[in-house]
Structure 1
Amino acid sequence: MAYQRDSAIFGLPPMPRSYKKHIVFQVVGVAFVIFIWYNLNGGFLPKFLVPRMPYFHIGPEIGCLIFFNVNNDASKIQWARNVNDKKSATDSVSNPAFNMIGGDIVLRGHGTKSQSLEPVMARPPQINSDITFKEWLEIVATGNKGIKIHLHSMESVEISLQILKEFHEQKPMKFPVWVHADVLQGPHGDKPVIDFERFFKTLMRLFPMCTLSLGWTTGTHTDLSQSSYTWDMVWDMLDLVQKHEEELTDRLIVFQARLSLIHNSVPQLKWLKDNVQRSSVMIWHEDGDIVDNEDVMYTAYRFPPDFIYYDLNHDRLQTLLSQYRHMSREKVHELVLRRDEVMFKPQAWLKMGFHRQKNSILASTEAIILVNPIVHIISKSKYLPTPEIYIQGRVTFFNRKNRKAEAHKTGLNIYVRPTEYAMFDNIVGIRCFIGAGGELEVSGSNLPSKIPSFRKTAKMTPSYSNCYRFRITDERTHLSFAVKALHHCTVLENVEPDEELVALLRVELPKGLEGDKQHPFILKMEDNNREGLIDELSIKHKA
């Protein structure tokens, strides 16, 4: 009738009955297609876009920053920790100060003859509780707070995750859920009781839709000045994650570290975070630990606010963080600021060689690791040979493949005045070599036959840390090669010293080498027997 009325007004012909049927069939057809798509796809949004667009789905895998809307500042997330009894569970749910509720899980009677198959909320050495994991979920999983469970025994993993899965199927959890386990041995820690492979496979099978939280076992010591999460520790964690890289695609990962062990560990943890996609760091404070205010500010200064969480449970530290989180530079130790001056700058270097070897170079603002001789790095800028310019840095050698070093072969090459460097095995220039055993060498590398050969060597006693500081100055007619073996490379106090390095090799360069052209610098491992971690790498101009 409406069409007939409008057609009369505008002088249009009446709509044929067949045309009306055609429109009805089209509408029904489109509705049917939408119905089929929605049911087969599980929603209107294509499945391949869902992991990349979290705003279209809220589930236990949702990030805390999104769920709690804290303006990308993870330090604003407040934690209720050790919520392992009925009263604390009820209190934490009603307390508006808390965003996340954390609890610990063991099997009732853990480690005794009376151990049962019932997961309860308790933190070892406690082995019993007045609340089971099932009951705990009923109380804390209200929807307005997130939860984190810490699994303390291998026996409790599958049972607990099965309970979590069944609870989610009955009452879908539309808030952040973190599942945590200590899977590696850390500073002063015992051997972990959780086997990562078994834990990870069980998690992926039963409850993959969560934030994966991983940590190291830790302990304490009367003197923590030399303690840290070592490069080997964070490297081991990287290996675990990279082994399951495909399964962890688009999943959130958090690495947990103890505040009292942070002083010498920030570069290592930042390097780990930089090399794992969608990862963050959680700094937690153990009751009774003695910590320095500056250590809290050090982490706040080095990590972007959306990539570091804090579970401090300490009024003074929490107040300090709240007041100075965005002015942390004013509160850090002077050595932290001094380290800024010698930090590695990845954007100043290019990767060369076999690009398919993606893990042959692991770079961060904290350090770069070269693990394969078929890939090298080259400075983007080129420099004239002059006494006013020098390259400096530190290299630490690791033997993660448990191989024997070869004298004058296993180590790091630093090339000066390279003219050809597209192929890793045919770099033309002056080779400055630091051997893993303390050998030093300056020689020509693939130079034209018209240039006289030259080679000068020296030997120094290596330290147990396998760490060396170096400085190379190309003075046009001479090359100065200064190297020093360092006893410590991880302590913050070992940042670049003020004293000058002593040149152990000073080599007169033969005629025929071009000394009036600009050239880049190149760093490359000589063989596969060691991996080289390079930090404090920079090209300096003398004042």
Structure 2
Amino acid sequence: MKRHQHQEMSLSKFMASLPIPRHYRRYLIIQLLCVGFVLYLWVSINGGFIPKFLKHKISYFDVESDVSPLLYFGDINNDASKIRWSGKVNSLNQLNQAMESDAHMLEGDVILRGQGTKHQKLIPVMSSPPNTDSKTTLDDWLDVVKSKQKGIKLVFTSIEAVEISLQKLKIIKEQGFLKFPVWIHADVLKGPEGKTPNIDSTRFLRHLKRVFPKCTISLGWTVSPHTDTSQGGYSWDMVLDMFKLIQTWEINDQQVIFNADLPWLRNSVPQLKWLCDNVFHSSLMVSKSSQSIGIKEDVLYAAYRFPPHSLYFDVKDDHLEAVISKYRHFSRDQVSPLVLQRDLVMFHPKAWVKMGFHMEKNSVLGSTEAIILSSPIVYIVSKSSYKPSPELSLQGRVLFLNHNNKEMESGKTGLNIYLRSTSYTHFEEITGIRCFLGVDGTIEVSGSHLNKKDSFKSESQRITPSSSHCFRFAIIDSLSEIIFRVNVVHSCNTLESVKADAEIHAELKVPVPAHLGNGQHPYILKVADNKRYAVIDELSVKHS
């Protein structure tokens, strides 16, 4: 108390010496004392000026098995690429060596004893196909790791082994162990050149939800080694299947890791980035088996697109690990020129607003990589409005997906793009000029809900689509004429597909009334029916 009074007297003397009116001095003294008290409380509560929630290393007693490695390990500065992995740790000898290593996370494979044979028993052991047995049981393995400070990732290739293994984890957790990150992994969907998964996604996620929800869910696609991966990758259909799986099981409050195989990464970054952008609490793990080939450019392409906290690497390659360590935060100068070319046509989701019937959930899924329209009752409208001008063009690329296996209608299934719209609050009555691009290659410019004095003669033509149903388009509204240009693109998925077209494949020039909505109006994009999804990227308004 005396010390506090002394400080207040010293402060009062100091304030009295200042050339300010007396009635302000007392006010300033009170303010300074309040600030000092608040700072004292802040430092006392947080143990310093840095708030507790920003400190990566957390107390052992506060940790659950679903903790993120980024929080648990205090030496990585929120950079997932710094997490070190020890894979295929399936014997006790390998496990003991890994425990003494600098690895943060230990990966083990789980099957049943005698997996797939007539001697199969309900005893989880540490091995993976084509092996059917192992001397090391899961119980032995967990006894070594359960009270340590390494994280673990259990990889399941047998659905029969999942439930009993999760029960064992649950018991150990209830005993007060597993105070570290626990990842549970399975390949649940078919990926590039992959086989039908051994793990049924429904059973796998049901077991996780019911038995051991306090974990990080790690999901992947089956893949096969391939000599030429230049044209393949994780397709839009593949990532949509994974997205729907997450939505079906309502995985909203758990960490989710999507696993991608490095050799297939080159043509897959946009799709995988879109997936992570649309799944809450998700990250990407890029892995490489010892037999597969990894390319420096592909590793750094992913590093360039994904923020440090959402991209893990387990590449098992000294050269690539050195590349990641050196260039993870300086990858722009190391990527393919085609990646930088794509930067010039990146989609900007914040430039568009979603509208339509009750804003139907998941009908518009956006990312900096692309936006997916799946329902005709919901559409996107540009936030900015534009006056007709020969110097402006709306440009973009669309890939049509038959994700629900429906028959298209010729000349009716496709993408509608509206110009000079004066009324667009209802999805069935958008007024303006409609530019239609069909799945079957139909191109049409027509009026949409116009009155008689504004009507004009519609025109159309048709071009032969590619097997990929991918098109690039540009629309110029010069006030008296609409110019609609469409090019057939043989692939929307390869990195090379970003290259500019050498020629125009189809062009419509349609005269329109100059007085028709010649003020400022937004652009509107909407799928014509629900028989195709439209994946739209490279969408922007260009000035010539």
Q: Report the TM range for the smaller structure's normalisation.
A: 0.7 to 0.9
Corresponding residue of 2:295: 292
Question: Any conservation in 1 of the 2:372–2:536 contact (CA below 8 Å)?
Answer: yes
| Residue of structure 1 aligned with 2:521, choices 519, 522, 539 | 519
Q: Among 215, 221, 228, which residue is 2:226 paired with?
A: 221
Q: Match of 1:193, SS? A: coil
Following superposition of structure 1 onto structure 2, how do residues 246-285 of structure 1 map, counting pairs within 5 Å? 248-285=251-288
Shift of 1:421: 1.0
- Are 1:130 and 2:140 matched, yes or no? no
**Could you say if the C-alpha distance between residues 56 and 135 of structure 1 is closer, same or farther in structure 2, counting changes exceeding 3 Å?**
closer
Contact 2:421–2:517 (Cα < 8 Å) also in 1: no
Matches within 5 A, 1:420-499: 420-497=423-500, 499=502
Q: Which residue type is aligned with residue 372 of structure 1?
A: S
Do the aligned partners of 2:147 and 2:177 also contact (CA within 8 Å) in 1? no
The residue aligned with 1:314 is 317
Alpha-carbon distance in 2 for matches of 1:102, 1:346: 38
For 1:301 and 1:452, the matched residues in 2 are separated by 49
In structure 2, give the amino acid aligned to 1:66.
Answer: L
* Range that drifts further, 207-216 or 169-178: 169-178
Within a 5 Å distance, the mapping from 1:312-391 to structure 2 comes to: 312-391=315-394
Contact 2:359 2:378 (C-alpha < 8 Å) held by counterparts: no
User: Aligned partner of 1:430: which letter?
Assistant: I
TM-aligned CA distance change 1:56 to 1:421, over 3 Å: farther
Deviations 1:138-166 (A, max 9, x none): 11233311000001111111111111112
- Residue of structure 2 in register with 1:541 after alignment: 543
TM-score, normalised via structure 2 length: 0.87
1:410, distance to aligned residue in structure 2 (A): 1.1
* Aligned CA-pair RMSD: 1.6
How far off its partner does 1:67 sit? 0.4
- C-alpha distance in 1 between matches for 2:210 and 2:59: 22
CA offsets per residue over residues 334-386 of structure 1, 9 Å max, x none? 00000011011001111111244121101111100011111111111111211
Measure, in 1, the Cα distance between the counterparts of 2:61 and 2:461. Answer: 63
Contact 1:370 1:533 in 2 (8 A): yes
Contact 1:482 1:503 in 2 (8 A): yes
**Residues 189 and 219, structure 1, Cα contact 8 Å, conserved in 2:** yes
Name the structure 1 match of 2:95.
Answer: 89
Alpha-carbon deviations, 1:37-72, whole Å to 9, x = none?
A: xxxxxxxxxxxxxxxx99994110111100012221
Among candidates 183, 192, 196, match of residue 187 of structure 1: 192
Maintained 8 Å contact 1:342/1:496: no
Separation (CA, whole Å) in 1 of partners of 2:59 and 2:489: 47
Q: Distance in 1 between matches of 2:67 and 2:120?
A: 35
State the distance in 1 between where 2:404 and 2:337 align.
37
Please state whether the residue corresponding to 1:112 is helix, strand or coil. Answer: coil
CA contact (8 A) 1:451 1:511 kept: no
The one of 169, 172, 186 equivalent to 2:174 is 169
Q: Out of 347-356 and 440-449, give the one that drifted further.
A: 347-356
Q: How many residues align?
A: 486
Aligned equivalents of 2:60, 2:136: Cα separation in 1: 34
Contact 1:148/1:180 (<8 A) preserved: yes
SS in 2 for 1:393: strand
Q: CA deviation at 1:498?
A: 5.3
- 1:395-406 alignment, distance < 5 Å: 395-406=398-409
CA distance in 1, matches of 2:376, 2:501: 33
Offset at residue 124 of structure 1 (A): 1.1
Match of 2:113 among 99, 108, 111: 108
Which deviates more from structure 2 when the two are superposed, residues 79-88 or residues 417-426?
417-426
The answer to which of 440-449 and 107-116 deviates more is 107-116
- Contact conserved, 2:432 with 2:447, CA < 8 A, in 1? yes
Answer with 448-457 or 406-415: which moved more.
448-457
Give the equivalent residue in structure 1 for 2:21: none
The question of whether the paired residues in 1 share the 8 Å contact of 2:429 and 2:449 is answered with yes
Task: Specify the code of the residue in structure 1 equivalent to 2:542.
Answer: K
Distance 2:60 2:542 in 1: 46
Per mean C-alpha deviation after superposition, the further-off stretch among 304-313 and 492-501 is 492-501
> How has the CA–CA distance of structure 1 residues 386 and 511 changed in structure 2, closer, same or farther, with 3 Å as cutoff?
closer
SS at match of 2:429: coil
Counterpart code for 2:156:
L
Once residues 165 and 61 of structure 2 are traced to their aligned partners in structure 1, the CA distance between those partners, rounded to angstroms, is 29
Q: Is the 8 A contact 1:80 1:98 kept in 2?
A: yes
Q: Deviations over 1:77-126 (max 9, x none)?
A: 0000000111110011111x200000000111211122221111112112
Deviation at 1:500, TM superposition (A): 4.9
1:231 matched to 2:236: yes
- Please tell me whether the aligned partners of residues 81 and 313 of structure 2 are also in contact (alpha carbons under 8 angstroms): yes
1:508 aligns to 2:511 (yes or no): yes
Query: Displacement of 1:260 after TM fit?
Result: 0.6
2 CA distance for matches of 1:165 and 1:487?
51
- Give yes or no for contact 1:416–1:522 (8 Å, CA) kept in 2: yes
- 1:208 is aligned, of 213, 235, 249, to 213
**CA apart distance, 1:420:** 1.1
Structure 1: give runs of 5+ residues left out of the alignment.
1-52
Partner of 2:531: 529
- 8 Å contact 1:281–1:308 — kept in the other structure? yes
Paired letter, 2:93: K
**CA contact 1:79–1:311 (8 Å) conserved in 2:** yes
Distance (Å, rounded) in 1 between the aligned partners of 2:85 and 2:71 = 16
**Alignment partner of 1:359: what SS?**
coil
Q: Which amino acid aligns with 1:285?
A: K
- Number of the residue aligned with 2:150: 145
Return the alpha-carbon distance in structure 2 between the equivalents of residues 148 and 250 of structure 1: 19
Give the fraction of aligned pairs with identical amino acids, expressed as a percent: 51
Contact 1:454/1:510 (8 A) holds in 2: no
Q: Distance in 2 between matches of 1:316 and 1:82?
A: 20
SS at match of 2:253: coil
Asked if 1 retains the 8 angstrom alpha-carbon contact of 2:110 and 2:154, the reply is yes
1:415-474 residue CA offsets vs partner (Å, 9 max, x unmatched): 111111111111111100001111110001111221233210101111110111111111
For each residue in 1:482-541, what CA deviation from the matched residue of structure 2 results, as whole angstroms up to 9, or x when unmatched? 1112111100011041535355211111354243x2221110111111111101111111
Does the aligned pair in 2 maintain the 1:141–1:147 contact within 8 Å? no
Provide the rounded CA distance (Å) in 2 between the counterparts of 1:55 and 1:379: 49
Matched residue SS, 1:326: coil
